[in-house]
Amino acid sequence: MRRRRSLGHDLLGLALAAVVGFPVYWMVLTAFRPAHEILSLPPRFWPGRPTFDNFARALGTETFWANVRSSVVIGLGTVLVSLVVGTLAAFALARFRFAGRKAFVVVILIVQMVPLTALIIPVYLLLNDVGMTDSITGVILTYLVFTLPFTVWMLRGFIAGVPVELEEAAMVDGCGRLGAFRRVVLPLLAPGIIATSVFALVQAWNEYVLVYVLLSSPEKQTVSIWLVSFQTSFGTDYGGLMAGATLTALPVVVFFLVVQRRIASGLAVGAVKG
Amino acid sequence: MALRSSHRPLALALFLSLAAAGCGSGSGSSGAGGKLTVWLAVDAQESWPQLVQSTNDRFAKAHPGVAVDVQYQQWTTKNQKLDAVLAGKNVPDVVEMGNSETTNYIVNGAFATLDPSRFDQSGSWLPALADACRHDGRTYCVPYYVGARVGVYRTDYFTRAGVAGPPRTYPELMSALDRLKGTLGAEDPNFSALYMPGRYWYAAMAWVKDAGGEIAVQDGGRWKGALSSPKSVAGLTEWKRLIDAYYVGDRAKDNGDQPGVVAQGRVGVFYGNTWEADAAADEHAGGDPKLKGRFATFPFPGPSGKLLPPFLGGSTLAVPVKSTRKDLAADWIGMFTDRQSQQTLIAANTLPNNTAQLAEVAAGGINGPAAQAAATGGWMTPFAPGWTSVEKSNVLPEMLERIANGKASVQDAAREADRRIDEVINER
Amino acid sequence: MSADRGRRRRPRLLPYLLIGPTVLALVLVLGYPLVDMVVLSFQDMTREQLFSGSSPPWAGLRQFRRILGDAFFWTVVARTVLFTAVCVALTVFCGMVTALLMHRVSPWVRSVISGVLVMVWAMPVMVAGSIFRWLFDADYGVVNWLLSNLPGVDLAKHNWFTNPWEGFTVIVAVVVWGSLPFAAITLRAALAQVPPELEESAVLDGARPFQVFRHVTLPVIRPVLLMVTTLTAIWDFGVFNQIWLMRGGQPEREYYLLGVYSFIESFAVNRYSTGAAIALVTVVLLLAGSVVYLRQMLRTGEAE
């Protein structure tokens, strides 16, 4: 593949990044703009006099750090649990034939087809009955059922992409099934796990309809609800909203970078050793 | 909901076993301990936090040991949450409701009845709020505050266009708009003498009311749309004429970001709430702080020769029927809405819930014109069971957009809107 | 049939233990709400029953008859199908192109692209909605301004949402833009699984790039590609947020897709049962649409 790399491809890639990234640029740009420049006409593509007012205002919210903490707990909790639980199920689906397998596949698929909005009230009532409304655990459990089917579905595809022969060779070499999985399958799964975990995190991080209904204490609410509060009845504080959104998006980007580096390098080393 | 009594216990037992393994930290929002849960809309947090504080202090003195937990809700998402919560068992003890939202909840049995004599000044409550709280002779909520729309103008633009002062009559208003259009409009093709986006139904309906028309009328206990009546059509036609003559912006917009747009400096006059004049100069609402002091308000004259009847949008406070502390809740509401508290609201540039204190709003202040408009008349959305459905299915904005964009004649668009109103307005 | 070969060491219980936690979580949290939704669609629930907790009257098939007999419902279905088809085709195509391109650019350009993709991914839908609404605003929009700079084009004050076809073009753009990171990053992850030696030897054998893609690359990434396609289809079919936000929370009837329609019936008009019935019909339609794929997947699934 290396031979086909060329300046043309690089330029094309940069053009693509520019087009796709424009709305992101606009968000960050707006975050640094004083309010009255935000709707200016003709539009300006460069900050005239960048200001940190919007960030100061966004960070000045009383519950901001509590909300960040709550988001982090919910986000990481959801990602970790759904990855562990989901990988197990995905492995079973990709590698075993068992009675009820088809039914399980169909259920996993159907579950993802149900519109979330139709489930808001029933889910609330269920959690209400077991006293888990306004509880972070309740939210994680709820998010889990929305990220799990996806995780299973995704990872199943990636496990299926790992040639069974590799795994069997490892088992012949004396690794147990678990050893073979850890040394052979897991390293090859790394990119899939990265993509899946980012997906699960983004879901949990940005969801605001369910979590708003499920949580009531201001300090437990997540940053996504905090973001909605920039749309006041007086009009939308676009500068504050965009500054808030920039702050909110940062952890996800950092998470991706960390996960990519850690998993990619760590597991690749493991693969060489195995 | 459906499985309330039959299958749910099984699911619950399973669920509980799982929850117990984790860390079920769930806590009820009411009932447990000495706590009173109050849901207020964010307006209280933004504009009169001191009122909430002083009420809580007074309440703590009267009921030591009862903590008050005030939770602020966004208008756009509040009712979705409220519906889910009211279906459950831990409900808030006090809920703020817009006066166009109450009827549907009342007819569906969501709120407890209240004894009006328990509340200060209940004899002089504004009809726009009190009527929203009454059903079949009983009272289900307590008026909180009201707002009325007025004209807001850029004082510096008026000076530049050579307009002497705020217009007092409709012809004076028209000549002021003509002058603005002739001077500022000539320099900037994006300048609107009057800001009137096509989906701004609170404004358009004011012209309908001024012409003697109605959105819907009650006929033998049933409601039906009245937008295609000759008087309503006359009002809509005049409204369309104004757009054609004085508004150059996008006609498919609503007034949602009105202060932000006005802050861009390309608007001479707009029709809005008093606070929107402040918001246009406040960066928290997307306004421009440099415009502080350049807006003034005036009672908006109507074509009929009287003041243009403003929509009296306001809030009320209700106690959910499932609340376990109805008495305490009523006490809190009582303190939050009594004469002393209403004084605080007036000081925060908001109109009070009763006619007696409405007269005390300083006529010369920024809110004077609004108080004048609210006192001389105004209108409310129909107190019909299905009114919220009409509002949420956007019948009025869609009709207005079709009229404003010339997609349909006033008559045709109004007839179609009436048909859609008739479909849902009587549904509970 | 590797599954049979490996059987000697495999306890029969193992697969069930592996899927156990997933099944448990789904049944506990989703089981009751799902059953509730289905039951609800056969009842006639009003707010009075919602608030009081009393049992709604049984309505049998009335809700379904009402929906399925309504011409408007079928317009919405047709619109949703068309919308989904366009979005999925564009998402998968753009995602594939991006993934392939990322394979062929210098490492630093690749970092730039993945950085941008993740930032797009991380942007909350609500914020993305605000930004796109703005970019396409009739009075202050950047898009109108940029396009008007082209010779012969005057889009000043052009409203993109007056004509639903134009409006849906914008909404499709938002949806495809929003799902591009998922498609591209996932497909790129799948491409990383393709052994480079295989492709190189095919090139040495004189295969053209397209032939390499079709005969070497595609078979390896097929499971992931199919998965991306199905998931995108499922999400786009039920799309709600983007339309809701782009229309400022007041979508006109021309902008109803099934997800929006179900929401409006439930939460705006308070016909909870009709809303549930629409949600159920949505699931059935989706299932019908994926039958071909499901059958194939179940068959190939056994071969894995």
Find tokens 């403003």 and name the residue: B310
Which is higher by pLDDT, B40 or C291?
B40
Shortest distance, CA A54 to any CA of chain B (angstroms): 9
pLDDT higher at B17 or A105: A105
Minimal CA separation from B21 to chain C, in Å: 13
C23·A104 Cβ contact <8 A: yes
By CB atoms closer than 10 A (0-12, 13-18, 19+), residue B385 is: buried
Q: C-alpha angle B310/B79/B426, rounded to 5°? A: 65
Please report the ipTM that was assigned to this predicted complex.
0.84
Q: Do A115 and C282 touch (CB under 8 A)?
A: yes
For residues A158 and A151, is the Cβ–Cβ distance under 8 A? Answer: no
- Look over chain A and give the mean of its residue pLDDT values, rounded to a whole number: 82
Contact B270, B287 (CB under 8 A): no
CA distance, residue C150 to nearest chain A CA (Å): 15
**Residues of A with Cβ-Cβ distance to C24 under 8 angstroms:** none
C41: in domain: no
- Same-fold call for B29-147+313-376 versus B154-311+382-424: yes
Q: Tell if the CB–CB gap between A39 and B71 is shorter than 8 Å.
A: no
Question: pLDDT tens, B221-261?
Answer: 899 999 999 999 999 999 999 999 999 988 888 887 788 88
Going from the C-alpha of C192 to that of each of A264, C97, C183, C219, the distances in angstroms are 11, 15, 14, 13
Question: Is the CB of B42 less than 8 angstroms away from the CB of A232?
Answer: yes
Paired tokens of A243: 């500054």
Residues forming beta bridges with residue B270, ordered by sequence position: B152, B195
**Of residues C69 and C53, more confidently modeled:** C69
Domain range annotation of chain A: 1-51, 62-273
DSSP letter, residue A111 = H
Cβ–Cβ below 8 Å for A128 and B88 = yes
Match 């002497």 to its residue by tokens: B164
- Give the DSSP letter of residue C217: I
Show residues of chain A in contact with C117, CB under 8 Å.
20
A149 touches chain C (CB under 8 A): yes
Give the pLDDT score at A5. Answer: 59
pLDDT in tens, B62-98: 998 899 999 998 887 888 889 889 988 889 999 999 9
State pTM to two decimals: 0.85
The 3-class secondary structure across chain B, one letter per residue, is: CCCCCCCHHHHHHHHHHHHHHCCCCCCCCCCCCCEEEEEEEHHHHHHCHHHHHHHHHHHHHHCCCCEEEEEEECHHHHHHHHHHHHHCCCCCCEEEEECCCHHHHHHCCCECCECHHHCCCHHHECHHHHHHHEECCEECEEEEEEEEEEEEEEHHHHHHHCCCCCCCCHHHHHHHHHHHHHHHHHHCCCCEEEECCCCCHHHHHHHHHHCCCCCEEEECCEEEECCCCHHHHHHHHHHHHHHHHHCCCCCCCCCCCHHHHHCCCCEEEEEEEHHHHHHCCCHHHCCCHHHCCCEEEECCECCCCCECCCEEEEEEEECECCCCCHHHHHHHHHHHHCHHHHHHHHHCCCECCEHHHHCCCCCCCCCHHHHHHHHHCCECCCCCCCHHHHHHCCHHHHHHHHHHCCCCCHHHHHHHHHHHHHHHCCCC
Nearest chain A CA: its distance from B325 CA (Å): 19
CA gap C115, A24 in Å, rounded: 11
Q: Closest Cα of chain B to A268: distance in Å?
A: 34
On whether residue C90 sits in a domain, the answer given is yes
At C233 the pLDDT is 92
Listed in sequence order, the residues at least 6 apart from C158 whose beta carbon sits closer than 8 Å to its beta carbon are C138, C144
For residue A258, the distance in angstroms to the closest alpha carbon of chain C comes to 12
pLDDT for A263 equals 58
In this prediction, residue A238 has a pLDDT band, given cuts at 50, 70 and 90, of confident
pLDDT bucket at C205, cuts 50 / 70 / 90: confident
Q: What is the mean pLDDT of residues B136-153?
A: 92
Strands B67-73 and B35-41: parallel
Sort out which chain C residues have CB atoms less than 8 A from A206's CB and list them: 122, 124-126
Residue contact B109–C138, C-beta within 8 A:
no
Q: Does C95 touch chain A (CB under 8 A)?
A: no
Contacts of A26 in chain C (CB under 8 A): 131, 134-135, 142
Q: Does A79 touch chain C (CB under 8 A)?
A: no
Two tokens at B183?
Answer: 């001077």
Cα–Cα distance measured from residue B387 to residue A214, given in angstroms and rounded to the nearest whole number = 28
Q: Which of A126, A213, A238 sits opposite B81 (nearest CB)?
A: A213
Residue C12: how many CB atoms within 10 A of its CB? Answer: 10
**What share of chain B in percent tops pLDDT 90?**
55
Residue B29 binned pLDDT confidence (cut-offs 50, 70, 90): very low
| Domains contained in chain C, number | 1
User: Which tokens is A248 given?
Assistant: 């909110």
Whole-number Å distance between alpha carbons of B27 and C49 = 25
CB nearest A235 (choices: B42, B190, B285): B285
pLDDT at A271 over 60: no
d(CA B201, CA B424): 18
Cα first-last separation, chain C: 7
Are C269 and B389 within 8 A, CB to CB?
yes
Structure-block tokens of residue A269: 């080393």
Burial of A45 (0-12, 13-18, 19+ CB in 10 A): exposed
Residues B302 and B170 sit within 8 Å (Cβ to Cβ)? yes
Q: Would you call C162 and B252 a contact, using CB atoms and an 8 Å cutoff?
A: yes
- Find which of C23, C39, C51, C161 to mutate to test the B interface (most B CBs within 10 Å of its CB): C51
What three-state secondary structure class fits C169? helix
Q: What is the pLDDT of residue B179?
A: 94
Share of chain B above pLDDT 70, in %: 92
List, for residues C111-150, the tens digit of each pLDDT value.
889 889 988 988 888 888 888 988 888 877 888 888 888 8
Interface of A with B in 103-142 (CB under 8 A): 120-122, 124-138, 141
DSSP SS3 for C103? helix
Contact in structure between B380 and B100 (CB atoms under 8 Å): yes
Nearest Cβ partner for B89 among A128, A134, A216: A128
What CATH code is carried by the domain that includes residue C131? Answer: 1.10.3720.10
For A256, the closest of C118, C125, C231 (CB atoms) is: C118
Torsion sign across C-alpha atoms B190, B194, B198, B201: positive
CB pairs under 8 A between B and C: 113
- Cβ-based contacts of C70 with chain B (< 8 Å): none
Lowest mean pLDDT among B34-43, B200-209, B366-375, B407-416: B366-375
Residue C284 is part of which domain span?
62-303
pLDDT score of C3 more than 70: no
Residue B27 in this model has a pLDDT that exceeds 50: no
B10 vs C40 pLDDT, higher one? C40
Q: How far is CA A156 from CA B243, C25, C248, in A?
A: 59, 18, 38
The span from the CA of B106 to the CA of B314, in Å, is 17
What's the CA angle centered on B320, arms B316 and B322, to 5 degrees?
A: 175
pLDDT bucket at A8, cuts 50 / 70 / 90: confident
Contact C47 B428 (CB under 8 A): yes
> Would you tell me which CATH number, out of the four given (3.90.180.10, 3.40.50.10440, 3.30.390.30, 3.40.190.10), belongs to the domain B29-147+313-376?
3.40.190.10
- For residue A213, the one-letter residue type is V
Per-residue confidence (pLDDT) for residue A1, from 0 to 100: 43
pLDDT over 70 at C301, yes or no: no
Instruction: Pull the structure tokens for residue C187.
Output: 């497909």
Distance from CA of B407 to the nearest CA of C (A): 10
Q: Compute the distance between CA of residue B127 and CA of residue B142 in angstroms, rounded to an integer.
A: 12
A62-273 CATH, one of 3.40.50.720, 3.40.50.300, 1.10.3860.10, 1.10.3720.10: 1.10.3720.10
Span of B5-19, C23-37, C119-133, C137-151 with lowest mean pLDDT: B5-19
d(Cα C100, Cα C103) in Å, to the nearest integer?
5
Provide, as residue numbers in chain A, all residues whose Cβ is less than 8 Å from the Cβ of B87: 121, 124-125
> What mean pLDDT comes out for the span B163-180?
93
- For the CA atoms of A82, A84, A88, A93, the dihedral, rounded to the nearest 10 degrees, stands at 30
pLDDT at B374 over 50: yes
CA distances from B85 to A43, A214, B377, C54, C91 (A): 44, 9, 36, 16, 38
Least confident span in B99-108, B325-334, C81-90, C265-274: C265-274
Calculate the alpha carbon distances from B343 to B53, B56, B149, C17, C166 in Å.
Answer: 15, 16, 21, 67, 52
What pLDDT does B8 receive?
Answer: 44
Q: Which element (helix H / strand E) includes A166? A: helix A164-172
Distance CA C110, CA A138 (A): 39
Task: Give yes or no for residue C302 having a pLDDT over 60.
Answer: no
Q: What is the mean pLDDT of residues B319-345?
A: 94
Class of CATH domain B154-311+382-424: alpha beta
* Residue of A6, A45, A121 to mutate when probing chain C, most C C-beta within 10 A: A121
Other beta carbons within 10 angstroms of residue B222's beta carbon come to 11
Sorting pLDDT into bands at 50, 70 and 90, what band is B55? very high
Q: Other CB atoms closer than 10 Å to residue B369's CB: what's the count?
A: 26
The structure tokens listed for B242 are: 């104004």
CB neighbours of C85 closer than 8 A, spacing ≥ 6? none
Q: Given a cut of 60, is residue B21 above it in pLDDT? A: no
| Amino acid present at B237 | T
Q: How many residues does chain C have?
A: 304
Taking the C-alpha atoms of residue A234 and residue A219, their distance in angstroms, rounded to an integer, is 24
C-beta separation of A192 from A158 below 8 A: yes
**Chains in contact with A via at least 3 Cβ–Cβ pairs below 8 Å:** B, C
Give me the mean pLDDT over the A225-238 stretch.
74
pLDDT at A269: 40
Burial classification of residue B406, based on how many CB atoms lie within 10 Å of its CB (0-12 exposed, 13-18 middle, 19 or more buried): exposed
The domain limits of chain B are 29-147+313-376, 154-311+382-424
Q: Measured between CA atoms, how close is B288 to chain A, in angstroms?
A: 5
The most confident of the ranges A248-257, B203-212, B246-255, C148-157 is: B203-212
CA C134 to centroid of chain Cα atoms: 24
